[in-house]
Structure 1
């Protein structure tokens, strides 16, 4: 019998068919302006990213996809360049085209949902990356012809390119077919080097795991989801709201907050600009320093000064 993975505190985040019907009914009554979208960065550092082998950098491609450069290693998180997700067209172009990327050394996957794991994208990546995946996903990668795959359970870690990669909990669920519900896990990834520690949260609802992660790690920069939270009665267990993402940031005691998982695909009823507006409002309400919130345009790079 196939193993089924669970959340901390046994929180269930998958919904019934009846819940789905109710959400669809609600959605039909809402009118949202989808013409306002997240903008592209006018000054992209494509040449610098391809030549960079020493400076730490991160670039938001869109949705949950970042190019992170650490210790001369090129890392991609949840690489998805898909033009559609189900019946919905992508709302914004990826910030950097696949052909403009440098060779990729390491790819981390937070979980198996199609907006985070897109095999047509992986096929087109330059280089011969090593894949770090949640437990339960390695067999699918092997079947697809990928050999360099490391599978991890929560709290496990591995050395790569002079830094440590840790797999940490998230509160979510996963499914790619009718029969594989939660047969692989989900989580976030922490890249811990001597100079800087990045935490890529993945896809999650707000949960106690943030406090546990804060107890074990000193986080510099957190890549935090803020979108796909509406309606909250349906989404809250699996998708964190902008307000709760700020609460999680404070619990993590991180230095910088980089928002993600908004504006690319219509996965829920909120829009990218709405998610950002609520994030800004909560940031002000909590009286947090402006410089700690790093909202990126698509294709925008933050590169540390040498």
Structure 2
């Protein structure tokens, strides 16, 4: 763990981001690197994966019924008590602390894709239309993959967003899209910044980045510690399992709520997404109090049945005596007293109709 863990701050507005990237201990030879290396698939492996996805994929990766969604309005959100969390889908979480709203990895578009005529389509509509989202103190981004960084959503949110908090390099993408550079703060791992009364710390993840075949790992990826007063939350972004969870838990745990990736995993890409057993171990490493599985229930990004991540992590948590919460999309969660898990996914494919 770096000795600067308690002192390092975000790159200042107007600061030299290129120099900050060059100084990063995770950056060399033109790209960022994981603390624990990941396997990079060969051309043959990528072709085999493409064949599997195109011709051998089960239809059960997509629900046949309607995902339950609790619709939200701006008035409802503004009237909601502090210390609330609303899951809007996939890894998009709306947090309310001190009367201000914070939004993680906002994706409101129909598809998690560079184009809207192809690619993974939503299983459900967002609980709130992007035009109705209340003013945002900070959008918090974990990395630049399309299911976490959606250009259309970022541009639509820009007029009502005070700050965009990103890992190193991701902020440069936003600025290139026209986001005011004065709104953008970029952090290396173990660096922190404050927005309102919330402290945000970029912490390590084991993943990769890139939006085209030619720009892999040119920007950093991160998980996030989110602290408000005596409350601490963890947001994983995308990650494989690694010993960094123990470091984060030792430095910042225990966490009232750990929002951990549980979905789009497969044995074909074991290093960059966690199997549910690894999600549970990460939660224990973090010294979490309540586990909230995310990165599921919205997009078809894996080869498993769409319900499987919920089923597996719920069974594992129950067997281990771990508190787990699985709110419906749009349902309010009280961070101080999270509701116990409700297996809403069991009823979805028994309902008639398909929602897109």
Task: Normalising by structure 1, report the TM-score.
Answer: 0.90
Is 2:48 aligned against 1:22? yes
Aligned to 1:226: 262
Distance 1:71 1:2 in 2: 42
Secondary structure in structure 2 of the residue aligned to 1:89: coil
* Cα pair distance change 1:81/1:58, threshold 3 Å: same
- Is 1:48 paired with 2:76? yes
Contact 1:228 1:235 in 2 (8 A): no
Against the structure 1 CA distance between its residues 37 and 299, is the aligned structure 2 distance closer, same or farther, given a 3 Å change threshold?
farther
Deviation at 1:210, TM superposition (A): 0.4
Q: Which of 151, 170, 182 matches 2:217?
A: 182
> 1:113 and 1:63 mapped to 2: Cα distance?
13
Superposition map of 1:257-268 within 5 A: 257-268=291-302
State the match for 1:91 in structure 2.
123
Residues 38 and 155 of structure 1: is their aligned pair in 2 closer, same or farther, counting only changes over 3 Å?
farther
Is contact 2:58–2:305 with CA below 8 Å preserved after alignment? no
Structure 1 stretch displaced more, 199-208 or 264-273: 264-273
Q: Tell me how far apart the structure 1 counterparts of residues 131 and 288 of structure 2 sit (CA, whole Å).
A: 33
State the 1:13 CA deviation: 4.5
**Quick check: 1:111–1:133 contact (8 Å CA) kept in 2?**
yes
SS in 2 for 1:235: coil
**Contact 2:112 2:150 (8 Å CA) reproduced:** no
- Contact 1:263–1:271 (Cα < 8 Å) also in 2: no
Q: 1:1-306 maps to which residues of 2 (within 5 A)? A: 3-9=30-36, 11-27=37-53, 28-33=55-60, 34-36=62-64, 39-42=67-70, 44=72, 47-52=75-80, 55-86=82-113, 87-125=119-157, 127-147=160-180, 148-218=183-253, 219-230=255-266, 232=267, 234-286=268-320, 288-289=321-322, 292-303=323-334
Corresponding residue number in structure 1 for 2:354: none
- Counterparts of 2:66 and 2:48, CA distance in 1: 29
C-alpha displacement at 1:14, in angstroms?
3.6
Alpha-carbon distance in structure 2 between the residues aligned to 1:137 and 1:44: 29
Q: Give the stretch that moved more between structures: 251-260 or 17-26.
A: 17-26
The alignment yields a C-alpha RMSD, in angstroms, of 2.2
The alignment's TM-score, normalised by the length of structure 2, stands at 0.78
Give, in whole Å, the separation in 2 of the partners of 1:153 and 1:135.
Answer: 6
Q: Distance in 2 between matches of 1:173 and 1:215?
A: 24
Q: Could you tell me how far 1:37 is from its partner in structure 2?
A: 5.8
- Cα deviations across residues 170-192 of structure 1 (Å, max 9, x unaligned)? 00001112332101100111111
Counterparts of 2:39 and 2:99, CA distance in 1: 38
Deviation at residue 44 of structure 1 after TM alignment: 4.7
How many residues matched? 299
**CA drift at 1:43:** 6.7
| Distance (Å, rounded) in 2 between the aligned partners of 1:93 and 1:189 | 26
Distance in 2 (CA, whole Å) between partners of 1:275 and 1:31 is 15
Provide Cα deviations, 1:257-288, integer angstroms capped at 9, x if missing partner.
111101211111123311111112212332x1
Residue 6 of structure 2 corresponds to which residue in structure 1?
none
Moved over 6 A (4+): none
Aligned CA distance change for structure 1 residues 213 and 161 (closer, same or farther; 3 Å): same
Q: Are the counterparts in 1 of residues 70 and 127 from structure 2 also a CA contact under 8 Å?
A: no
Tell me if structure 1 keeps the 8 A contact 2:203–2:224: yes
Deviation by residue 1:50-75 (Cα, 9 ceiling, x = unmatched)? 234x6111000000000001122210
Unaligned runs of 5+ in 2: 1-27, 114-118, 338-356
